[in-house]
Structure 1
């Protein structure tokens, strides 16, 4: 027989639970007992959402946070990411101005499990983390964030688990809701082919049939959302002998993008009898994020004698200005589909079984072209322009220029590469041999002809990703009378994951080589692009994809020219079998009701990866000694491993007084290593910088000065990141919509992926069967000018042969790094009307998360901010609602897509973002035909918060300005 609870949840909690979960589930709990008389009061808006979320938190034996919409299609934000980012202990990370990533307790989304209705969810990015902005709020009914784990929680992470939820139609109210949103960016587009307006449309409905035994829920959503960004960047700053500081190079762009997203969510639920429940759900997301990155990239040199002022407060003239106008069209297209089947069957009053199976697939192409324009092809002229500038702590701003008029005149601007960036094409130098000479001569006065060094006019850079995840779960659940244990759940879960990345690129050379021509008129847009906000004036705007599409550019495959690109192409496979058991218990200790659960998972893993070791061969090609365009067999790598984990968990909730709880949790969790770190691929690379080639041939000198050689490889045998966790929470619920909670958590990181580095001999590589990578005529250099070279000041005469050192660094990943994370969370939801009747309807919800984290090697944890503060103030009464939300996040480390499509580390400066919303729900207006209408006006990033990176000298090195965004929302429920 079933065991009755010793104490009952709050009436509000039961009412909320009744609204959220199926009648089947409740009939299991209450079969044979009379259901309590509960008056379910429909509370809407933010107060209703807070009440439902509070009820979930209160009734859970684990430490959780929650989001709960009153109905499908009624979450207030444009994506679930924005809603999640305001929860206690969570923090959002903006990508291109949109909140996309979510950190839980200081751990980036790659170290946080994400599920959809309890099933593991995949993304379309480089790693395991989910891009939360993929999921429109219109298809979601809520989310639960598990900060502590339970044995039956299949999707786990060191940070926690985010479970996104879609509707279950037989547990939901029938509805037909139409949503329309008009969006406008606060900043106008600086690029003439884009604007700052967008729209969202969504239709969602829930219907029940056949005496409420069949339910269908469908949500359709389409989005067109603009983002306009101003990016200021430099290559760094340097000081002269007088301490006057100027940039080393410029990287300033106007960026415009548009997100196009079409989503279909469909759920079919069939309950033919009280004992059988079948749910089929499908999700399809078609996603495109296209745009342009347009601006200047160039070296910076101050004219001798032009500087005035001191330190960072310097003005002067930039000399020999030969900018590259980069027009980089970007197109990121992806799609994700998931299909799931869940069958539950009640064997009798005490026992049930469940079978769940799902398949998810995603694919993405992330493409970015580069098209160069300038005064002339590199080597064609030696007279350039000048600019006047002013330096400050905000960086450099230009106040005027001469000799650069071509950049605003399409008849003068040349479609060509004005800088000598073609060194990567050395192994196909013959293709660019010519009798046409540059304006330059060698040391003997002989003219220097155009060559491959002058032949790069653009680059087409893209990566393809594919991922597939299949899961099958079989579970039994039953009520027992085993002392204090009253319920058991056990089962087995199987998952099979495949992920692929294909890193591709092509060098582009214009058909006019070795000459240059003006930009064809058919490429041009009407109007100029605006860079005047950086003092760089108006510049020509043209379609950067056009010369690729019409054959104007000749393309050469960079995969066979750049070893690091081939060394970033790979597949990763994982098979995981999890056997688990969870035991629920309830008892009393000294008169205090105690409930909770304990259990464990046994996780068995088989993982492998296939990839390539990119090496330049004697023919100067990468892994193509046969010149047949095929990767050599000895460059193909494959490796893997098998291992297992035992993951115990304990959650205890003690009600020390009415609606006052102490919760204790202890568990071991894992987060699997990053996909890009588990790849078998790697590369051997050589830097052609003569100052590195002339470093003396000894390990000591290489250790002191560096080396032109470098080697990198992933590690397919990496074990998951592992932590022992302890949580202690004090929670007091004093009202249906009011509580305070104080939580302490500690994570002992017993395994974290470490960056390893060692010196090896590149003429006898002990890590690759004694391979010798040195190629005479390619890795050495004939000195052209007598002098001292390199940081060691080695003397060379003209005509000497400089041979590089044999030694260099090999970098890879290894297990074994340890660390700890200590954190405190303070959360409060305060309805002010409880204390002062005149303030009825007013309230605030706030949280503060303070984290102290440390890895043994001193490196930061990706996603970890020392402090995250969040405060939402609201007023709601008679359908009218106003809310203002502010989130403050301190500096944090992360990683992002860098050059050659590879992952690179980055640091985000502190940010404070303010959002606000005002709305009116006509349900109580007395106007019958308007009673289903809700209108709202929402603004995000209202204070125009910038993302800035400030160097050690106190000067901005990178600044991104996104501007605010405004949305006018119409939501109409026909019933």
Structure 2
């Protein structure tokens, strides 16, 4: 059925098709019998803000489901610097930042978001174990557009609880005949890093005159040095002082030792930088084999090497015994012992340990995804496609730490003995008296002020401890074969039926390891991870007692800063905006290669696998879908709808290690692998869906949607090692099982990952009203609700574990992750987009986009006062305000993004619940300007984080900020040409 008020134009239909992937899993296609109003926009001729915004509205208006879209404003030019920065402009989308750059995405408060590439799954090296990639891996120049799908549809690959992101690359057959080239170069400088960074991207395309063959290639390279300062809590080590007998205190002076003090043990101001080198390549070839057949081949390659480096002074509260306060304690809540829970914001900190801490975390990531596709269209009533996809990806991760002492170590009893008697671990260090440090969290930045001249002598700082742990190599493969078909006919309101079959297999293997070096002290020898000059292998003098004071030898040597290898030590002048202090520190760049740096100090390092954090998972999916497309009238009002269901059968094969006793070294974190366990499980799921679009008038559209969604778990939540806690059987168990009373039997366990965890599941509802009162303007309101079955939380399961002789005799409690009680996310999205092209003169170039999302949520967790906490990382309020101008070759834009306070993580039990760590509300402002100097060239200036916004993270109380992520303003000057 057709409707006279909508005139179908071939151009509008082509534009909508070209913005979608060729597969029949496309989502932003025109509804049957509907069409866009006449457009002057062709796919690769979209240039500028106004044209891009019009195309985005066109895609949304004629979509089969609830969707928002983003279209590149030119070849290789998304509206913002990164993919994630662009996505945050969409209503209901919230992002997390890594070193100031957008990295991961939430849709309507949930991070369980599937990301597709041209309508299908792909592998991203930044997150091999999950379905959502880390977008820092993907250069924005490779992407032509993005669909944010907020309601499920039967022919769209399942995987997102709250939504699905579909990244789209350039299609060769969309080109005009002949050659098309584009070139882009940028120079970027950070306000704090003071580094000159660069980016270059190239686009080349060709289409034959007979329009039967076409090819495109995009290449991108960029290097960035990002300032990412850290103030406050350096390591995650919160403490509650006063909960046990030896720590009971009278903090408020009422002579009752029943008060509780909540604090963070490690504080500091850290110089933290992130260096990223990104390479991206995308190539696509299309060939029209006949009037009915088209062949497409795609290659999508990304590679990123990054290093997160941290250096600074860190103070240690050592169980709170060394706090001397310059003001009163702040009472917060009723304490567990009958007194109060206290915190403090200003203090004179009598520090027992001051450390010079340096750390380097590196990642080498690489992924390649290949797509081969054959599309069929008989130009009548049947069309279809067959696709095969292959993905290969790997990631190498290292962590390397150097922990030096500025204080002597005598303040807290850390001593060493290398055969010359007992002495402090850093004999030249400051002490033995505690060091007075003024601590304050009352200003804009957390600050620590040291005594004048402190830590200025390079010869007084000693590298006491160094180690490399949590290193891993992981690799993955993905194979997908799918067939889709669509048959058009008219049977009442039913216009067509879509159907498809799909099979996919994903393999992931992770090997986690530490680095150990051989040590020998006295009569003992062992491989050691923590090369610590204050640690001992044990009873080295043979008196039966391990005690340094009684003569036991410690390992390691005194590495004073003036004795370290060349290039290791440098002087840091200033720690971002929070501190202008100058200290000698180990350059974290010297730690980038753990093998090389560890061997320079302690030769003979080797890898030692950590079975508790190593695993293998194979997931095989078989799925089928059926979707009916309807077109008709309801009470004389035109409607379009689709109803259908997707069936998914998932088979999991999980290889999990059994962890035995500790290795013969108390200074190693990796225990012995005692065996393997292969777990096989399967799951069957049916996901129904329905989408309705009702045309109340030519401009007013009512949408409603219902669907069930599912997201498979991160593989790291499913797999890992199982460690067994054992004790002597005793008489009772010996009698019950007929074993010796001295047999060590399993009594408990700990499991990294739970193979029996159920996937995330939710039932979703959408209801919206959209008013397109002209071709470039929109007012819309959307209501949504997600009923989420369960959340993943810490808990216990019963599991049969082997006794020391390898026999499983009973089930014991095992600490692991479990499916806990679910929750609800519901809310409203409001959008206003307006082009002021009706204004006179220069004012006709103005336009704006405003959107707001209200999304309250609840979970099963409670805070210190017993109040229900929301879902982690969900902001109840978020919004965007964008003002743009485009006229006579000049383009200007200012965009602000707001997020209200969000729950970052859960800390330790306290009061009536658990201490929540919140991130305070933020407003990030970006701006850009460009000018067309010639017909095909433009110069532009972009400023990200214009106001220097940063993140305050507080524990329970908004004024109790425990750490800050301080990001920088970044300026980019660029040149873009196309011909």
Q: CA deviation at 1:546?
A: 7.2
Match of 1:150 among 149, 153, 168: 153
Confirm whether residue 504 of structure 1 aligns to residue 554 of structure 2.
no
Distance 1:121 1:322, change over 3 A: same
Corresponding residue of 1:670: 710
Q: Which one of 45, 48, 72 corresponds to residue 45 of structure 1?
A: 48
1:477 corresponds, among 486, 504, 511, to 486
Per the alignment, residue 852 of structure 2 pairs with 848
Q: Residues 771 and 480 (structure 1 numbering): CA distance in 2 closer, same or farther, change over 3 Å?
A: farther
- What is aligned with 2:751? 712
Q: Report 1:108-127 matches (<5 A).
A: 108=111, 111-124=112-125, 125=127, 126-127=129-130
Query: Could you say what secondary structure the match of 1:673 adopts?
Result: coil
Report 1:654-803 matches (<5 A). 654-684=694-724, 711-757=750-796, 767-769=800-802
How far did 1:650 drift? 0.9
Offset at 1:245? 8.8
Q: Distance in 1 between matches of 2:504 and 2:645?
A: 18
**How far off its partner does 1:684 sit?**
4.7
Deviations 1:583-617 (A, max 9, x none): 11100122211112111111111112112133425
Q: Structure 2 vs 1, CA of residues 932 and 348 (structure 1 numbering), >3 Å: closer, same or farther?
A: closer
Residues 483-503 of structure 1: per-residue CA shift (max 9 Å, x gap): 211111111011101122222
Secondary structure, aligned partner of 2:927: strand
Larger mean CA deviation between 271-280 and 386-395 belongs to 386-395
Alpha carbons of 1:544 and 1:587: their partners in 2 closer, same or farther (altered >3 Å)? same
Q: Who is 1:888 aligned against?
A: 898
Where 1:416 maps in the other structure, the secondary structure is strand
CA shift for structure 1 position 539: 2.3
**Are 1:400 and 1:535, in contact at CA under 8 Å, matched by a contact in 2?**
no
**Residue number in structure 2 paired with 1:220:** 219
Does structure 2 conserve the Cα–Cα contact (< 8 Å) formed by 1:826 and 1:848?
yes
Contact 1:79 1:137 in 2 (8 A): yes
Deviation at 1:851, TM superposition (A): 0.9
Compute the displacement of 1:68 (Å): 0.6
* Aligned equivalent of 1:346: 377
Which of 574, 586, 594 matches 1:530?
574
Cα separation, 2, equivalents of 1:91 and 1:248: 31
Deviation at 1:823, TM superposition (A): 1.4
Q: Deviations over 1:422-450 (max 9, x none)?
A: xxxxxxxxxxxxxxxxxxxxxxxxxxxxx
Q: 1:625-640 counterparts in 2 under 5 A?
A: 631-633=673-675, 636-640=676-680
2:386 paired residue number: 355
> How far off its partner does 1:77 sit?
2.6
Question: Do the aligned partners of 2:630 and 2:642 also contact (CA within 8 Å) in 1?
Answer: yes
Separation in 2, partners of 1:46, 1:515: 63
Deviation (angstroms), 1:839? 3.3
Residue number in structure 2 paired with 1:793: none
In structure 2, the residue matched to 1:288 is 305
- 1:320 to partner: Cα distance: 5.1
Alignment of 1:190-589 (within 5 A): 195-209=194-208, 211-234=210-233, 235-236=237-238, 241-243=250-252, 248-300=265-317, 307-311=325-329, 317-319=348-350, 321-347=352-378, 349-375=380-406, 378-380=414-416, 381-382=423-424, 383-384=431-432, 386-394=435-443, 397-401=447-451, 404-405=454-455, 408-417=456-465, 457-506=466-515, 507-509=529-531, 513-519=555-561, 520-524=564-568, 527-528=571-572, 530-531=574-575, 533-534=578-579, 537-542=582-587, 543-545=590-592, 548-549=595-596, 550-554=599-603, 565-589=610-634
TM-score w.r.t. the length of structure 2 is: 0.79
Q: Summarize deviations over 1:895-938 as a string: whole Å, max 9, x none.
A: 7999xxxxx9975332211111111123xxxxxxx221121111
Deviations, residues 553-592 of structure 1 (Å, cap 9, x unaligned): 25777957xxxx5322111111111111111110012221
Structure 1 residues 684 and 938: CA distance shift in structure 2, 3 A: farther
- 1:33 to 1:400, Cα distance in 2 relative to 1, 3 A: closer
- Residues 64 and 34 from structure 1, CA distance in 2 versus in 1: closer, same or farther, beyond 3 angstroms? closer
Q: Which residue of 2 aligns with 1:97?
A: 100
Distance 1:894 1:307, change over 3 A: closer
Preserved CA contact (<8 Å) 2:955 2:962:
yes
The answer on whether the counterparts of 2:155 and 2:498 sit within 8 Å (CA) in structure 1 is yes
Q: Deviations over 1:811-843 (max 9, x none)?
A: 223346332221111111012344777731112
Q: Following the alignment from structure 1 to structure 2, what is the Cα–Cα distance between the partners of residues 847 and 10?
A: 30
Distance in structure 1 (CA, Å) of the matches to 2:660 and 2:973: 55
1:970 aligns with 2:979: no
Q: Is the 8 A contact 1:881 1:918 kept in 2?
A: yes
Cα distance 1:617–1:138, how it changes in 2: closer, same or farther (>3 A)? closer
After the TM superposition, which of the residue ranges 649-658 and 611-620 deviates more from structure 2?
611-620
The 3-state SS of whatever aligns with 1:273 is coil
Greater mean alpha carbon deviation, residues 943-952 or residues 538-547: 538-547
Partner-residue secondary structure (3-state), 2:559: coil
User: Is 1:920 aligned to residue 931 of structure 2?
Assistant: yes
**8 A Cα contact 1:939 1:965, kept in partner:** yes
CA gap of 1:711–1:938, structure 2 versus 1, over 3 A, is: same
Query: 1:294 deviation in Å?
Result: 0.9
The CA distance in 2 between the partners of 1:305 and 1:146, in whole Å, is 53
Output the CA distance in 1 between the equivalents of 2:792 and 2:567. 48
Residue 756 of structure 1 and its aligned partner are, at CA, apart by 2.5
CA-CA distance at 1:304 after TM superposition: 7.0
Give the distance between the partners of 1:678 and 1:53, measured in 2 at CA: 39
* Shift in alpha-carbon separation, 1:38–1:91, aligned structure 2, 3 A: closer
Shift of 1:711: 2.4
**Residue 949 of structure 1: aligned partner:** 953
Structure 1 residues 82-91 or 127-136, which shifts more? 127-136
SS in 2 for 1:567: helix
What are the ranges of 5 or more consecutive residues in structure 2 without an aligned counterpart? 242-248, 253-260, 331-343, 417-422, 425-430, 516-528, 534-553, 728-746, 862-867, 909-914
C-alpha distance in structure 2 between counterparts of 1:81 and 1:875, whole Å: 23
**Cα 1:893–1:32, aligned 2, differ >3 Å: closer, same or farther?**
closer
Q: Matched residues in 2 for 1:896 and 1:284: separation?
A: 37
- Paired with 2:859 and 2:133, the residues of 1 have a C-alpha distance of 25
What residue number does 1:803 align with? none
- Over 3 Å counting, the alpha-carbon distance change for 1:531 and 1:515 in structure 2 is same
Cα distance in 2 between the residues matched to 1:481 and 1:132? 43
Whether contact under 8 Å (1:15, 1:39) holds in the other structure is no
> 3-state DSSP class of the match of 1:130?
coil
Residues 386, 402 of structure 1: 8 Å contact kept = no
Q: 8 Å contact 1:199–1:223 — kept in the other structure?
A: yes
Aligned to 1:161: 164
Q: Deviation of residue 537 (structure 1)?
A: 3.3
Indicate conservation of the 8 Å contact 1:615/1:623, yes or no.
no
Give the direction of change, closer, same or farther, for the CA distance of 1:179–1:37 in structure 2 (3 Å limit): closer
**What is the CA–CA distance in structure 2 between the aligned matches of 1:23 and 1:326, rounded to whole Å?**
53
* C-alpha RMSD over aligned residues: 3.9
d(CA) in 1 for partners of 2:447 and 2:571?
Answer: 24
* Closer, same or farther: CA 277–941 of 1 in aligned 2, 3 Å: same
